[in-house]
Amino acid sequence: MRGPTRTIALAVAAVLLLAPSLLGARQQQARAGDAFAEPERLLTSLYEAVTFKAGSLPDWTYVRSMFIDEAVILLRTTRTDTTVFSVDGFVADFERFIAESRVADQGFVERIHAMRSWVYRDMAHALVLYSACIPGRERPPQLGIDSFLLQRRDGRWWITALTNDIIDEAHPVPRELWEPGQDRPPTAPADCEIRGGTEPEPSAP
């Protein structure tokens, strides 16, 4: 090929090479837009984002994009202690857990079992009953409760604060997170499998 014909051919080839990446970027933007539209959708997307199959890892850039830069995260890190993190500190601690517990070769699952949210204008509060586990490990899934504060700014929702605690025999699931008609506290699931989604139950009125 010579002259203009070769130039046109190279341009077409470049477009074809860029097309998959452009499509992927648009899909990611669409995913983010959907996730940020409603408080419960944002929180559901967070649990989906930190759940990953063996051989893969979370997209930490996507996870960070769910929080305001100044967000405060206070997590139960042992049976008796809690730790305060920034968003970057939260991600770094999660990465440390993955490395030290050798989770990357087995995957990790966080699954929502109930969510109760309250929204007033541009602020929201949500309680989430979830379980966390590592597929293939003997240790059963651990139930916990996350408490979120959220704010709507610039046309989307952001997580501004997160605190959590774990469920044990002395501290069962509070009634606010029981299913309608349930006569006993929920218990941890028997399995630790990655499912197609983690949609919560509808919020109580």
Q: Is residue 118 domain-shared with residue 19, that is, in the same domain?
A: no
Of 17 and 76, which is predicted with more confidence?
76
Q: Is residue 26 domain-shared with residue 82, that is, in the same domain?
A: no
Separation in Å, CA 116 to CA 34, 84, 113: 20, 24, 11
Structurally, the chain folds into a number of domains equal to 2
The predicted-structure confidence for 32-69, as pLDDT tens digits, reads as follows: 568 899 999 999 999 999 999 999 999 999 999 999 99
Structural domain boundaries, residue 18: 1-35
Q: Is residue 133 domain-shared with residue 184, that is, in the same domain?
A: yes
Using a 10 angstrom Cβ sphere, with 0-12 exposed, 13-18 middle and 19 or more buried, the burial of residue 55 is exposed
Residues 6 or more apart whose CB falls under 8 angstroms from that of 145 comprise: 127, 128, 129, 130, 164, 165, 166, 167, 173, 174, 177
- Residue 180 binned pLDDT confidence (cut-offs 50, 70, 90): confident
* Distance of alpha carbon 186 from alpha carbon 8, whole angstroms: 64
pLDDT at position 32 is 56
Q: Is residue 41 domain-shared with residue 24, that is, in the same domain?
A: no
Q: Is residue 102 domain-shared with residue 54, that is, in the same domain?
A: yes
Q: Is residue 30 domain-shared with residue 7, that is, in the same domain?
A: yes
Asked if 72 contacts 161 with a C-beta cutoff of 8 angstroms, the reply is: yes
Q: Is residue 69 domain-shared with residue 143, that is, in the same domain?
A: yes
Q: Is residue 201 domain-shared with residue 138, that is, in the same domain?
A: yes
The predicted-structure confidence for 98-152, as pLDDT tens digits, reads as follows: 999 999 999 999 999 999 999 999 999 999 999 999 998 988 999 999 999 999 9
Q: What's the whole-number average pLDDT of the chain?
A: 84
Q: Is the pLDDT of residue 196 over 90?
A: no
- Residue 31 binned pLDDT confidence (cut-offs 50, 70, 90): low
Q: Output the domain CATH number for residue 79.
A: 3.10.450.50
* Distance of alpha carbon 193 from alpha carbon 156, whole angstroms: 31
In 3D space, the residue among 37, 188, 177, 162 whose CA is nearest the CA of residue 109 turns out to be 188
The amino acid at 46: L
